[in-house]
C-alpha cells in the first residue's frame, strides 16, 4: 500500500484544513486517528480518497450483482430506528461509511472513506443523495484496495 502522501500526490488531491467539529454526526470520533484494517484470507479493505465537497456524505458498499436492484437509504421516510437491525419492509441495506477528513503524517488532512473489512469480490460504491454517482471496485482478500474518487468533469 502506498503512503497517504503518495496517494494524494498521484491523484492530484490537495490536503484540506483540519475539521473544526465532527464530519460525521453518526460517529463523531471518525477521522480522529488511525483505522484498524481487519484483512487476511478472503477479507480485504477499501480506502478511498474523496473530493472535499463530499465530506459528511455517506457512501454505500453494494455487491456488483445487486447494484441495479439497490435503492439505498434514500427512502423519503423516517425509519424510526438506527442502522443496526432489519427494516422489515422489503429492501436491503448495505454497509455505509461517511466521508471524513483524516490526518496525514505531515499534519495535513485528506477527505477519505475506509471500509476496514470487506469479503473479496466486485462491489459498487454508491453515494447516498446522488445514487448516479458511483464507482466500481474489486476487493482482493488480504489486500487493501485504493481508489481516488474524482469529481465529475475533473481534469488532471
Report phi then psi at 68, rounded to 5: -70, -25
CA angle 113, 116, 117 (to 5 degrees): 135
Q: For strand 43-49 and strand 109-119, is the pairing parallel, antiparallel, or unpaired?
A: antiparallel
Strand partners, 110: 102
pLDDT above 90: percentage of residues in the chain: 36
> What is the rounded distance in angstroms from the CA atom of residue 120 to the CA atom of residue 141?
5
Mean pLDDT taken over the chain: 74
CA angle 108, 113, 117 (to 5 degrees): 125
Residue 33: the pLDDT is: 66
Average pLDDT for residues 85-99, to the nearest whole number?
A: 64
Residue 31: the pLDDT is: 57
Residue 117: the pLDDT is: 95
**Alpha carbon distance, N-terminus to C-terminus of the chain:** 22
Amino acid at each position: 500500500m502506498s503512503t497517504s502522501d503518495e496517494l494524494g500526490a498521484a491523484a492530484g488531491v490537495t490536503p484540506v484544513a483540519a475539521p473544526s467539529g465532527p464530519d460525521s454526526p453518526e460517529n463523531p470520533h471518525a477521522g480522529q486517528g488511525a483505522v484498524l484494517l481487519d484483512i487476511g484470507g478472503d477479507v480485504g479493505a477499501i480506502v478511498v480518497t474523496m473530493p472535499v465537497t463530499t465530506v459528511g456524505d455517506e457512501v454505500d458498499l453494494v455487491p456488483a450483482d445487486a447494484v441495479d436492484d439497490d435503492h439505498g437509504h434514500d427512502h423519503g421516510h423516517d425509519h424510526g430506528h438506527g442502522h443496526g437491525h432489519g427494516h422489515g419492509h422489503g429492501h436491503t441495506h448495505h454497509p455505509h461509511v461517511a466521508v471524513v477528513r483524516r490526518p496525514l503524517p505531515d499534519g495535513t488532512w485528506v477527505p477519505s472513506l475506509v471500509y476496514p473489512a470487506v469479503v473479496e469480490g466486485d462491489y459498487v460504491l454508491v453515494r447516498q443523495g446522488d445514487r448516479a454517482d458511483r464507482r466500481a471496485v474489486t476487493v482482493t482478500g488480504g489486500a487493501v484496495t485504493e481508489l481516488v474518487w474524482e469529481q465529475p468533469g475533473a481534469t488532471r
